[in-house]
Amino acid sequence: MTAWCRLLTASLLGLTWVLPASAGESPLSSHLIEAQEVKGDLPAAPTDPAWAGVPARTFLAYPQRTVRLNDKRANEASKTEGPEPLAVKAVYNARDLAIWVEWKEETPSKVSRSETNVFGDSVAFEVPIRFGPGLRLPYVGMGDQKLPVRIAMQRAAEDGTLANEYVAAGFGSLTRTSKPFAKMGMTYDPTTKVWRAEFTRPLVAGAHSMAQGLVPIAFAVWEGAASQRGGNKRLSSWQFLKLSRYPVSPAYQRQIAAAVTPAAGSAEKGRQLVTQYCIGCHRFADQQSAQEGFAPDLSSIGAIATTGYIRESIGQPSEVIVPHLNINRHYDKSAKPDRFRAYPNADGFKFYVLDDKGHKASKMPPFSLPKQDLEDIVTYLQTLDGTKE
């Protein structure tokens, strides 16, 4: 037994103290990834035997359905695809943090340096650039304009692992960082048919610190064989990396718990209300009458969004304006084309409108509903996990 493993055992025993058994059912603890503190070096690769002693938490990544991209093969493959279980582990020492992800893949695929339609299996995590007491969580789909995220992504390629880091303020805004922090590597195990990936980065890197007691973190995986890349992916909801070495203020703990505690209304009443109010613009479950691309598709909103976000998006939809896809995807055929026969874009497909001062406001008006109605609606929306066709 290495010194590292001994230490790990010690900290595992300490777990019962950090995380009381009853907390296993509390809403917050079901979103926690307990990072194990170690002295000395962190495991150097996803295959490092030291990882075997670290407990994993498994949660699901769901197909991205908020917007629908235009690759026919990817969309066809996505129709029948369910959620992907991700097993995640984390360890840290005084300086660095290592995150380990394992997921099943029957048909591994790597980025090709010669073929044009081969896609690589990939994994990424995002962490808000700013987080903590008083700050809401960023939009789970790669952050938002007020609260951007930092993303580390690795792709399996035939000439090694392609590692990139980005900052993003909502999908479409992904921009490579000039100063990457993380070391990455991923390995396929053909006997158990799983990918294992590791990300290692300094706890404090530049102005970005993960040296806090509760770090919001979300994951995404891409299946190359299903033509997944970019927005065609599976993503998790916000999870929380718990680094016991650092204190967590009770206020922050309460805030996070409130954000992830499921609503407790009537899903059936909620379904009726949502059908009454929302189907003109939104698609979800078997309600597909709204125009495609007119508003975010809610088919898997319950699986990827927190209770707090769903509630806020109804009451204050302008707090986070979900980005629409490229507005040039829809043009206005009823308008007069210009002298080069170009039609103007159909601005109705923008998810925002500009107010008199030129500020962006969500196209969706704020709904002030009786408290119980709101609770019922949120309860229903939380049942939407992309499986109700």
- What residues line the site for another protein (CB under 8 A)? 69-73, 75, 111-117, 171-172, 174, 227, 229-231, 292-293, 325-326, 328-333, 337-343, 346
Which candidate, 377, 374, 253, 364, places its Cα nearest to that of 318? 364
Query: Of 341 and 357, which has the nearer Cβ to another protein?
Result: 341
- Please state, in angstroms and rounded to a whole number, the distance separating the CA atoms of residues 138 and 141: 8
Query: CB of 140: closest distance to another protein in angstroms?
Result: 17
Query: Of 25 and 115, which has the nearer Cβ to another protein?
Result: 115
- Please state, in angstroms and rounded to a whole number, the distance separating the CA atoms of residues 5 and 52: 10
Query: Of 333 and 371, which has the nearer Cβ to another protein?
Result: 333
Query: Of 138 and 293, which has the nearer Cβ to another protein?
Result: 293
Q: Are 116 and 184 in contact (CB under 8 A)?
A: no
Which candidate, 131, 150, 97, places its Cα nearest to that of 214? 131
Could you tell me the sign of the dihedral formed by the alpha carbons of 367, 371, 372, 376, in that order? positive
Buried b (16+ CB within 10 A) or exposed e, 161-193: bbbbbbbbbbbeebeeeeeebbbbbbebeeeee
- Please state, in angstroms and rounded to a whole number, the distance separating the CA atoms of residues 239 and 90: 13
Query: CB of 45: closest distance to another protein in angstroms?
Result: 24
Query: Of 176 and 254, which has the nearer Cβ to another protein?
Result: 176
Cα diameter, the chain: 77
Query: CB of 238: closest distance to another protein in angstroms?
Result: 22
**For 340, phi and psi rounded to 5 degrees?**
-105, 20
Tokens of 372: 């119980």
- Please state, in angstroms and rounded to a whole number, the distance separating the CA atoms of residues 255 and 140: 17
DSSP-assigned states of every residue in 201-243: EESEETTEE--SSEEEEEEEEE-GGGT--TTSSEE---EEEEE
Query: Of 336 and 341, which has the nearer Cβ to another protein?
Result: 341
Q: What is the DSSP letter of 50?
A: G
Which candidate, 49, 45, 227, places its Cα nearest to that of 122? 227
Query: CB of 151: closest distance to another protein in angstroms?
Result: 12
Query: CB of 331: closest distance to another protein in angstroms?
Result: 4
Residue partners of 181: CB distance under 8 A and separation at least 6: 152, 165, 201, 202, 205, 206, 208
Query: CB of 116: closest distance to another protein in angstroms?
Result: 4
Query: CB of 250: closest distance to another protein in angstroms?
Result: 41
Query: CB of 324: closest distance to another protein in angstroms?
Result: 10
Query: Of 109 and 306, which has the nearer Cβ to another protein?
Result: 109
Query: Of 112 and 387, which has the nearer Cβ to another protein?
Result: 112
Query: CB of 27: closest distance to another protein in angstroms?
Result: 33
Q: Are 311 and 70 in contact (CB under 8 A)?
A: no
Query: Of 25 and 159, which has the nearer Cβ to another protein?
Result: 159
Q: Are 375 and 264 in contact (CB under 8 A)?
A: yes
Query: CB of 142: closest distance to another protein in angstroms?
Result: 11
Query: Of 222 and 240, which has the nearer Cβ to another protein?
Result: 222
